[in-house]
């Protein structure tokens, strides 16, 4: 995929269905009233090295998170956006985790990573699931257990052994470790074989 097409694909992919991506409406999605989880126990911690050296420690109130089933397979996709800067810049991490059915846990799960510097037109991607691994993952059901949409708190930890590369190939970063608690919401009709797991 050409760099321009790759950037466009990632920019569109990480906004939930029905959410516009222009600056006039994206703020509502990026800054939900309760942070990541209304239960107050969301977080993201990560170490980034390479072209940028960052140690992230985002607490529930600091981070906006969203998640859904990945199209075409049984994996999940989770997005975490950190605190916005005064000039509109914001760092977003997106994890695409393979082979995870709804409501189930897993170990040694292949994972795709995308790191987006919003407001800077800067994006890094592993472009494959062979460079990062989720060591351990579990899903905990919460919210309305009888609703058409089913939400889970997703807790995971993992690492990357290979770098994510900038779209133009000029820079690379690696994430030697990460752990997070976010959420994923399954739409009606998807993955209905899941067990109910207490929060």
What's the whole-model pTM score? 0.79
Q: Write out pLDDT tens, residues 104-157.
A: 999 999 999 999 999 998 999 999 999 999 999 999 999 887 778 899 999 999
Query: Which two structure tokens, joined as six digits, stand for 184?
Result: 């994923």
Q: Return the pLDDT at 88.
A: 84
Phi, psi of 148 (to 5 degrees): -70, -30
Reported as type and span, the H/E element at residue 6 is: helix 3-13
Measured distance between the N- and C-terminal CA atoms of the chain, rounded to whole angstroms: 41
pLDDT exceeds cutoff 60 at 32: no
The 8-class DSSP code of residue 97 comes to E
Give me the residue spans of the domains in the chain: 31-186
Q: Tell me the DSSP string of 135-151.
A: EEEEEEEES-TTSSSEE
């Amino acid at each position: 995929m050409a760099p321009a097409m790759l950037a466009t694909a990632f920019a569109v992919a990480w906004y939930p269905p029905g959410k516009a991506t222009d600056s006039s409406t994206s703020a509502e999605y990026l800054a939900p009233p309760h942070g990541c989880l209304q239960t107050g126990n969301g977080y993201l911690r990560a170490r980034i090295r390479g072209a940028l050296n960052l140690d992230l420690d985002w607490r529930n109130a600091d981070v906006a998170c969203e998640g859904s089933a990945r199209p075409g397979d049984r994996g999940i996709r989770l997005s975490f956006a950190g605190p916005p800067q005064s000039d509109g810049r914001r760092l977003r991490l997106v994890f695409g985790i393979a082979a995870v059915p709804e409501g189930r846990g897993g170990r040694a799960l292949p994972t795709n990573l995308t790191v987006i510097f919003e407001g800077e037109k800067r994006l890094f991607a592993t472009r494959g699931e062979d460079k990062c691994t989720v060591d351990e993952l579990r899903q905990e059901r919460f919210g309305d257990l009888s609703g058409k949409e089913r939400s889970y708190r997703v807790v995971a930890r993992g690492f990357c052994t290979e770098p994510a590369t900038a779209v133009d190939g000029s820079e690379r970063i690696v994430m030697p470790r990460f752990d997070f608690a976010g959420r994923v919401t399954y739409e009606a009709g998807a993955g209905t074989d899941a067990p109910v797991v207490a929060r």
